[in-house]
């Protein structure tokens, strides 16, 4: 199964919310290996998760 970038970004997002099936993980890995745009999207979504964890802390320090 060849994923498009649009499908890949959806799966990357779902991977943060549920366990992906084996076939999904393989397809994702194949696509990410060749697509820098989707690799960046993945990194940025993971960064977003880290940033959300800090959000409640940092604002108090600043104010």
Partner 1 sequence: MPPATDIRAQIEALRPYLLRFASLQLRDAAAAEDAVQEALLAALAGEASFAGRANLRTWLTGILKHKIVDAIRRQAREPLLPQESEDAPDDFDALFERNGHWSERPARWGNPDGALEQAQFFRALEACLERLPARTAQAFMLREHLGLETSEICKELEITPTHCWVMLYRARMTLRDCLQQTWFGK
Q: Which residue has the tokens 């890995």?
A: 29
Residues 7-46 that bind partner 1 (CB under 8 A): 7, 9-10, 13-14, 16-18, 36-38, 40-41, 43-45
Q: Applying CB under 8 A, does 4 fall inside the site for partner 1?
A: yes
In angstroms, what is the minimal distance from the CB of 26 to partner 1?
Answer: 19
Sorted by sequence, the CB contacts under 8 Å of residue 28 that are 6+ apart come out as 3, 8, 11, 12, 15, 20
Tokens representing 17 are 């919310």
Q: Which residue has the tokens 């696509």?
A: 31
Residues that bind partner 1 (CB under 8 A): 4-7, 9-10, 13-14, 16-18, 36-38, 40-41, 43-45, 47-56, 58-62
């Amino acid at each position: 199964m060849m994923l498009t970038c649009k499908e890949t970004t959806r799966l990357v997002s779902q991977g943060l919310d549920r366990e992906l099936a084996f076939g999904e993980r393989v397809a994702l890995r194949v696509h990410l290996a060749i697509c820098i745009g989707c690799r960046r999207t993945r990194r940025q979504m993971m960064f977003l998760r880290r940033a959300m964890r800090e959000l409640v802390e940092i604002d108090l320090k600043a104010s």
